[in-house]
């Protein structure tokens, strides 16, 4: 059975803008759903659970940022703001409210698609070759398509950051992932100087995934270099 492409919700009150975005996204292989108001955007976001949301700030029934602040307690769907306002204070306000990225209109389709790929990758959503990625070893199973992690058949709840870190390790299963590469992929470039982030979250992952966290067999330490997920047996 074919795996469905990521679903992207477009929330913008201008029909011509939505049409252009829909055409570009379909050409790139994504599925789309549209909303012209804040309320319909919220309904679609909660009802369809898209992998990503493209959000205009100027909506007829309320500020676009209200969608972000309303959704954040419930879901962590990446949100990319598309706005004609390029002022720094607007960008900061959107990011502080919980948006993941901010793109000023007009923008190129190529840049938008690149931002979408980055947002999906950071969210751990299956994109491109990762749609078929499955990991199974030592009783651990990771299914990025369904975003399910289980151990010996029992589902394991991970926080969004724990999941992002696990997926970063799964992508390099059997190979060493350096401290810097993991910090950058999970937390961004500015986190490279904060290795304690990695120590804390690796400890949390081991507590949830290993039978004996003090003697890990799945998430291995490469002293002075990084960490290595054992080889994928799937």
* CA 8 to each of CA 77, 101, 122, 150, 219: distance values in angstroms, whole numbers, following the listed order: 10, 15, 15, 27, 33
Using alpha carbons, select from 34, 66, 27 the residue that is nearest to residue 50: 34
The kind and range of the H/E element at 87 are none
Q: How far apart are CA 120 and CA 117, in angstroms?
A: 5
Q: What is the dihedral of CA 115, 117, 118, 120, to 10 degrees?
A: 120
- CB neighbours of residue 217 within 10 Å: 14
Digitized pLDDT (tens) for each residue of the chain, 234 residues in all: 344 688 999 999 999 999 999 999 999 999 999 999 999 999 999 888 899 999 999 899 999 999 988 887 667 788 999 988 877 778 878 887 788 888 888 889 999 998 898 888 767 654 444 445 678 888 999 887 777 899 888 889 888 888 889 988 988 888 888 888 888 888 876 777 778 889 999 999 999 999 999 999 999 998 888 898 998 765
pLDDT of residue 143: 85
pLDDT of residue 191: 74
pLDDT of residue 2: 41
Q: How far apart are CA 207 and CA 128, in angstroms?
A: 31
pLDDT of residue 73: 66
Per the omega criterion (within 30 degrees of 0), is the bond before 106 cis? yes
How much is the pTM? 0.56
């Amino acid at each position: 059975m074919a795996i469905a492409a990521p679903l992207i919700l477009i929330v913008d009150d201008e029909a011509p803008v939505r049409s252009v975005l829909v055409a570009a996204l379909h050409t790139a292989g994504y599925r789309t759903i549209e909303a012209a108001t804040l309320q319909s955007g919220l309904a679609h976001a909660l009802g369809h659970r898209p992998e990503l949301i493209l959000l205009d700030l100027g909506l007829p029934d309320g500020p676009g940022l209200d969608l972000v602040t309303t959704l954040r307690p419930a879901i962590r769907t990446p949100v990319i703001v598309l706005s004609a306002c390029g002022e720094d204070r607007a960008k900061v306000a959107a990011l502080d409210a919980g948006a993941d990225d901010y793109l000023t209109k007009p923008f190129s389709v190529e840049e938008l698609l690149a931002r979408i790929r980055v947002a999906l990758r950071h969210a751990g959503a299956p994109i491109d070759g990762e749609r078929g990625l499955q990991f199974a070893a030592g009783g651990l199973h990771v299914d990025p398509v369904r975003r399910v992690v289980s151990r010996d058949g029992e589902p394991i709840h991970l926080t969004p950051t724990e999941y992002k870190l696990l997926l970063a390790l799964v992508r390099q299963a059997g190979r060493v992932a350096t401290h810097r590469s993991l910090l950058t992929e999970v937390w961004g470039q500015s986190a490279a100087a904060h290795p304690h982030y990695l120590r804390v979250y690796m400890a949390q992952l081991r507590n949830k995934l290993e039978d004996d966290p003090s003697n890990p067999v799945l998430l291995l330490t490469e002293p002075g270099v990084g960490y290595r997920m054992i080889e994928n047996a799937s």
